[in-house]
Structure formats: structure tokens, C-alpha cells
A = this chain, B = another copy of it.
Amino acid sequence: MSHELGAIVDLGSNSVRLVIYQQGSQGTQQEIDNLKQTVRLSSHLGDDGRIDEAGIKVALRVLEQFCQLCRAYGVTHITGIATQAVRMAVNREEVLKRIYEATGIPFRVVSGEEEARYGYLAVVNSLAVEEGVTVDIGGGSTEITVFRGRRLVRADSIPYGAVSLTREFLRSDLPSMKDMKNLDRVIQQELDRRPWLTGLGFPVIGMGGTARSLARIHQRRRHYPLLILHGYEMWPTEVTAILDMVRSMPIAKRRNINGLSADRADIITAGLAMLDQILKRVGTSRFIISNKGLRDGVLMEQVLRIRGQELLPDTLMYSIENVHDQFGLNRDHAFHVWELADQLLTAMVKHGLVVASEEHRRWLQVAALLHDIGRAISIYNTSKHTFYLLLQIPLFGVSHRDRVMAAAIAAFKSTKQIQTYLSMYQEFFDEEDIPAIAQLGVILRLVRAFDRTETGAVTGLDLQPDGRVWKLIVKARQPLGIELDLALEWTKKCRKVFQREIRLEVDDLDRAARI
């Protein structure tokens, strides 16, 4: 498990960020550390267009600290990315030279369009969206892309961000109506120059600190039970409401807003004003938060290169591979369990024993592929740990509802138990989902029993209706023992859950004495 460690340092206009990651086989990746320092480089851009000496010093100081941490980890390669503040600086050559001399990191200044494209790459490879508008509000610029059928159609950069807008228009503690009007006018002008945005109606995907803070504020206010930002959805009107709230508060009061970090209290108004205008221009009804942005796009570019792909064909499967890697799960076993679960579900649907939607199949798939994850914590109370972990790990391309339902199926022991587990998560399901969870849960328990030894002893499953008692045909490539004993316990539950009695019938080379 001696994977290589890499790092990305992102020298932004508001903050400098470091991500240290572990590069696995087949392009899997796990973040193992990250760090952020708020540097406000764009506020060191003087009227002469130069980053001043104080700005260079503070940037150097933070970058040296990051290098210190990278050395401590034994990071073998660092990718340095600089955005708007450096991009705009007249003295950027000098700045980069001094950084290189001090740290040895060759920073690359990405253009606004490139930066936008990285955001797009992060989004389409981690969220289930076919078409959309990405908006990344940074400290000194705002990157926008449009994509259709997951393909990039347009990438652009507005040279204003939360820090620079604040600095130019919202210097007072409590902005006046006039301040806000001036701010809005500049944003309007920028958007007027991009008529291709108007009325697109696509979902808007928000990235960057402004969007994350916004989502966090919203989640805290409504006591959202998940700690997940990625894929969280808000109504555009809720964005307007939170903008109205923050702009009517003095900064000191804003610092106490639950979910907003103190070092963003001053610039949140400008960032939200930009976002609000864009949402209105696009005329969308869906606003989705992406926790993945520039850095993830840069990482994704590396992953796609390793895998020889232009886009991840299946973002969910990629994230599951990452989780398998991180938790050291047995991948063959996981996929075998899913194959058996799929066969059993298909047979049950064919014979009218269950009705399974696309959604149900997806839940079962996630649950099957990750059913063992709780064992990473302990072989006792594993079901509880599985439920906990499935609500925490990074999963792409599934909704928060999908995740809660998959967690319930993977953790299923009985209807009563799973209702207790789900009691905090009522908003994600209706009462009628409970029988489906029980059915899918029992299916998964059955097929898990069939691969209890993780050796693929059971090669296939089929179902044969036979009056009141149905036969579950178990194809095996070797005599079964423990598998049947454990499966029998779960066939007992079938009567209650499927209104059918199910009997096991083994199809192996040596079946006689076995049942």
C-alpha cells in the first residue's frame, strides 16, 4: 500500500489552499490532508496593478508552511496553480520567480477560461447532471461554464470576485442602498456581455467558498441531518433570502451566523449578490452546490489521463472504487454480491414478487457494493457502522435521498431496527419506501450469506414459482455449508417481506446430503 503522495496548492485571490492526496492504482485518489489560509492576495493588488511587497511576503510565508507539511508527509510532486490575483498582477513574473526561489514550486497561472473548465470537469465527474451552468465565485474572479450532454459548450471568466467586489463597492460595515446598486450595476454589465446565459434554464451548480458558506448557512437553519454539501439543492429564492439577510447585518453580527466562518463575514454579501444575479439571468429553478471545484478539476484531469478517458463514464462507480481503496474492502466480493443481488432482484421482478424502479436498483447497487464497510470500524455492531459510514463517505452521482436509502438497505436487519436508524432522516422518504427497503434489505442479506466466505462459491441465483412455496435455485461451483445455514435464517424473513415462502434448492455437484 505504498501509494505515491501528491499535492495541489491553489494560490487564489482570497485564500491559499493545499490538498494532499494519495494516488491509488487505476486512478483512484483519496485526500489525506488539506489546509487553508486566508491571505486576501487580491487586496494586495495596488492601483499600479502590482501585488505589493506585503502581499508577496504573506503568500511566501503560507507557501513555505505548506511545503513544510508536504515534506513531512513525503509528498513527491506538488502542482501549483495561481488564479485571478496573480493573473492580473503586472509583476506576476517577479511574484512567481520569488515563490519558485523560496519553495521550488513552479506555479502555473491558469487563464480564466482554463479555471472555468476545471470547475466544469470537477462537476460533471462528480454530480449526476447532464446539462448545467457552473458558477465558481472566487476572491478575484467568477468562472462560468455551460455544458450540455456533459460536454463543455462555453467557458468564461468575469474579472470580479467576492473580495474585489467588496473592496470596490462594499467598504462600509453596513452597505447602503446606493452601494448595493452600484455593485449590482457592475454585475449586470458583466452579465449583459454574456447574453448566452440569459434564460438558459439549466440547473446552476455553485462552487467555491461563497456557495459552500451559503449551503452551510441554509443547512444549519433548517437542521439538515446530513453533513454533506456536495449535491445539496436549494431554491434560487432561498439564495435571495439569505442575501437579503446578510446585507442587512453589520459585519460583527454576520460573524455569528451559524455556518458562516468569521473570515468570510465581510465578503459574503458581494459573493451572494453575484450568485443571485446569475441565478436570475439563467432563469433556473434548480441550484445545486458542488463541494468539488478548481483543485478537484485539476486532480480529475490527472485521473482521466491515467485512465485514458475524456470523462468518467460512471461517476458513481469511480467514487465507489475510491471508497473500496480507502477502506481496504474486498472488491471482488463486493461486485460478486452485487451481481447475485441483481440476479435475485431481476428474477423477483420477472415473477411479480417485487416492483423495482430504477431508483430501487441504484440503492441496492450502492448498498451491495459497500455492504461490508462497517467492518472497517468493528466486526461488532457492524450494521450501525455501515449506516454511519454510508452517510459520510464521498459518493458521486447519487442524491442525498439515494444515499440514505442505500445506507438503510446495507444496514438492514429488521423493519423495526431500520425505522429507528431512519428516525432522524424522515425528510428523505415516505412511509411507502419502508417495505421496499425491507425487501431490498432481505435480498442483500440473502446474497451476502451466499458469499459469506468471499470465495464466489455461489455462482448464480434463480427463482422458480411453485405454488405457495417458491424455490430459490442456488447454483454453486462447490458444495455449500455455512452459506446455506446463514441464508436459511434470512429465507425465514421472506414470508413476512414477500408474502411467499422461499425454499433453497442447491444446484451443485454434490447436492444430495446438503439440504
Q: Which chain A residues (65-100) contact chain B, with CB distance < 8 Å?
A: 65-66, 68-69, 72
Of the candidate stretches A158-166, A386-394, A459-467, the one touching chain B is: A386-394
In angstroms, how far is the closest chain B Cβ from the Cβ of A256? 11
- Which B residues are CB-close (under 8 A) to A393? 377-378
Given A1-B1, A388-B388, answer yes or no on A69-B482 (Cβ-Cβ < 8 Å): yes
In angstroms, how far is the closest chain B Cβ from the Cβ of A263? 11
- Which B residues are CB-close (under 8 A) to A380? 227
Q: Is the CB of A72 within 8 A of B453?
A: yes
7 shortest interchain CB distances as A-B pairs: A65-B482, A72-B453, A65-B481, A227-B381, A72-B455, A68-B481, A69-B453
Q: A33-B379, A65-B481 are in contact. List 8 more A-B contacts (CB 8 A).
A: A35-B482, A64-B481, A65-B482, A66-B482, A68-B453, A68-B482, A72-B453, A227-B381
Quick check: is A34 within 8 A (CB to CB) of the other chain? Answer: yes
- Which B residues are CB-close (under 8 A) to A394? 378
- Which residue of chain B has its CB nearest to the CB of A394? B378
- Which B residues are CB-close (under 8 A) to A384? 227
Given A68-B482, A455-B72, answer yes or no on A385-B379 (Cβ-Cβ < 8 Å): no
Chain B CB within 10 Å, residue with most, of A376, A393, A481, A485:
A481
Quick check: is A37 within 8 A (CB to CB) of the other chain? Answer: yes
- Summarize A's interface: helix, strand, loop or mixed: mixed
Quick check: is A501 within 8 A (CB to CB) of the other chain? Answer: no
Quick check: is A31 within 8 A (CB to CB) of the other chain? Answer: yes
Docked pose: A66 CA to B485 CA in angstroms: 12
Quick check: is A454 within 8 A (CB to CB) of the other chain? Answer: yes
Q: Is the CB of B379 within 8 A of A392?
A: no
In angstroms, how far is the closest chain B Cβ from the Cβ of A169? 30
Quick check: is A452 within 8 A (CB to CB) of the other chain? Answer: yes
Q: Is the CB of A37 within 8 A of B485?
A: yes
- Which B residues are CB-close (under 8 A) to A482? 35, 65-66, 68-69
Docked pose: A455 CA to B31 CA in angstroms: 20
Quick check: is A32 within 8 A (CB to CB) of the other chain? Answer: yes
Quick check: is A61 within 8 A (CB to CB) of the other chain? Answer: yes
Docked pose: A277 CA to B379 CA in angstroms: 34
- Which B residues are CB-close (under 8 A) to A454? 72
Docked pose: A436 CA to B449 CA in angstroms: 48
- Which residue of chain B has its CB nearest to the CB of A34? B379
Encode A21-59 as 1/0 by CB contact (under 8 A) with B: 000000000011111010000000000000000000000
In angstroms, how far is the closest chain B Cβ from the Cβ of A9? 13
A-B contact pairs, 7 of them (CB 8 A): A32-B375, A33-B379, A65-B482, A69-B453, A376-B376, A377-B389, A377-B393
Q: Is the CB of A61 within 8 A of B379?
A: no
In angstroms, how far is the closest chain B Cβ from the Cβ of A5? 13
- Which B residues are CB-close (under 8 A) to A31? 379
Q: Which chain A residues (250-284) contact chain B, with CB distance < 8 Å?
A: none
Docked pose: A107 CA to B88 CA in angstroms: 78
Docked pose: A452 CA to B510 CA in angstroms: 60
Q: Is the CB of A452 within 8 A of B69?
A: yes
Q: Is the CB of A65 within 8 A of B378?
A: no
Which of these, B35, B61, B378, B392, contacts A381 with CB under 8 Å?
Answer: B392
Docked pose: A453 CA to B20 CA in angstroms: 13
- Which B residues are CB-close (under 8 A) to A69? 452-453, 482
- Which residue of chain B has its CB nearest to the CB of A479? B68
- Which residue of chain B has its CB nearest to the CB of A481? B65
Docked pose: A1 CA to B2 CA in angstroms: 11
Q: Is the CB of B68 within 8 A of A379?
A: no
Docked pose: A34 CA to B452 CA in angstroms: 12
Docked pose: A48 CA to B150 CA in angstroms: 78
In angstroms, how far is the closest chain B Cβ from the Cβ of A336? 13
- Which B residues are CB-close (under 8 A) to A453? 68-69, 72
Encode A439-454 as 1/0 by CB contact (under 8 A) with B: 0000000000000111
- Which residue of chain B has its CB nearest to the CB of A70? B453
Docked pose: A381 CA to B31 CA in angstroms: 13
